[in-house]
Structure 1
Amino acid sequence: MCGRYVLEGPVSRLTAHFDARYTEEESPFKNSYNIAPTTWVPVVRINREGERVILNHVWGLIPHWAKDKFGSAKLNNARGETVHEKPSFRTAFKKFRCLIPASGYFEWQAPPEGSGNRKQPFYIYPEETPYFAMAGVCDHWIDKTSGELVMSTAIITTEPSEKLKRVHDRMPVMISKEDWAVWLDPKNQDVKALRQLISSSDDLNFHAVGFGVSGVGKNRIDSKGLIDQFEPE
């Protein structure tokens, strides 16, 4: 799974890398080193005019048929093996895909059984480019009482690459630049062909980091020091 990630700017680098216009003037993107589910995150999509844009979505998918918006934290990830058939994701996968930019993400390595040690966090980041383009699905939810519209997203995950297996048993799906247009095209609803883009990637580096980004209760910790290399004892 992917439960925390990092996104650094400036905005000009983000828009240039994804060749997309950033639309959120009232809620500008800010560097974040501990992005958690249920927060607003930038995603790359194609708008109704066919333009590639960057919009803010809630991380944690809220299906359009959901009775309320409070279950989104449970839907921050979608398994690539079943995303095309699960009720919460299948329509989104077919019609509403996106790219979720990330400078890197965190994963936790389980300690040897019986060691008594806690999980060791690692920071995983692109090998040659400034950003990962994580595969995402989107949906929109409307409150029938207030009319509130919430756009939301989930990160698609898959089995890890050989390089990453020693850290964790899942990783986000990374969409290669040459496949961005195919992935983002809302007119492309060929589920079989789209599933071919769900694969692991070895184009990454990683190193151990400290325990400041250890999860629940630490969302307020957000500094660049979280991604500094750490040497476990």
Structure 2
Amino acid sequence: MCGRFALTATPEELIELFGLLEAEDFPARFNIAPTQPIIVIVASDRAEPGSNLPERKALLVRWGFTPGWVKDPRKFPLLINARAETAIGKAAFRAAMRHRRILVPASGFYEWRRPPKGSREPSQAYWVRPKKGGIVAFAGLMETWSSPDGSEVDTAAILTTDANRTVRPIHDRMPVVIQPEDFARWLDCRTQEPRDVTGLMVPAAEDYFEAIPVSDKVNKVANTGPELLDEVEPVAPAARKGSAGDRDDDGQMSLF
């Protein structure tokens, strides 16, 4: 899952990594939550093969995917994540998988280790970041929802896959990570069919991330300072029979 993340990179760092012409100035954000605006990278519709125009551009979209056929978003579940294994066939994501694949820049994400049901043990939050630092690019999907009055809202979801060895003790899902050498392939919706990019939607390498225990301050959206990333002494895990709090509904409505 990915229910909270952070982006502390500078616009210049985004420009360099993603090959953008420009990126508007923005503050470091340490607690990005669903329904908030997020920065995403899309293939530029102006770039043609052999041209000098940038191949990608940055957009601000709402984190919470709304399919174009939805009549009233207020009555539709908040889709912040999409399972990579089933997104190609899901009615909500099928068109976006074919036509609107995006990258979501992040400095890392938060995940919670939940205690067994009935336990009084508190949850433990973790800040999961690349061991080498820098920006990580999550695979995402985008859709523009149009209201009856003609207004439009760009929306997005982050794709998730099975957790790797680092994240698995905390949660069984993690965001799909796209490596820089695969940016062009993932964003190329002109020649790359969804079946052509399924090999990219796999868990990150076992040694790519590190998980750092942090305080429960991140639980509150109002807390947005850099202290959210400060390491704390973790709560000792109790013996577990299974993954507490797991759901058999694709996890689409769960924030964490």
TM over 0.5: yes
1:61/1:72 contact within 8 Å kept: no
2:248 aligns with: none
Q: Larger radius of gyration, structure 1 or 2?
A: 2
Structural mapping, 1:1-233, within 5 Å = 1-22=1-22, 25=24, 28-50=25-47, 51-70=55-74, 74-145=78-149, 147-201=150-204, 202=206, 203-214=208-219, 218-232=220-234
2:65/2:155 contact within 8 Å kept: yes
- Give secondary structure in 2 for the equivalent of 1:182: helix
Residue correspondences, number: 226
CA RMSD of aligned residues (A): 1.6
Residue 104 of structure 1: how far off its partner (Å): 0.7
Q: Percent identity?
A: 35
- Give secondary structure in 2 for the equivalent of 1:75: coil
Runs (5+) with no aligned partner, structure 2: 48-54, 236-256
Under a length normalisation based on structure 2, what TM-score does the superposition of the two structures give?
0.84
- Are the structure 2 counterparts of residues 45 and 213 from structure 1 closer, same or farther at C-alpha, using a change threshold of 3 Å? same
1:21/1:54 contact within 8 Å kept: no
Residue 224 of structure 1: how far off its partner (Å): 0.4
Deviations 1:165-203 (A, max 9, x none): 111110000011111100011203422221111100131
Find the aligned partners of 1:72 and 1:128 in 2 and give their Cα distance. 39
* Amino acid across the alignment from 1:42: I
Deviations 1:183-232 (A, max 9, x none): 01120342222111110013111110001012xxx211100000110113
Residue 73 of structure 1: how far off its partner (Å): 6.2
Residue 113 of structure 1: how far off its partner (Å): 5.0
Deviations 1:108-166 (A, max 9, x none): 00224543112100000012241110000001111121x21111110000000022211
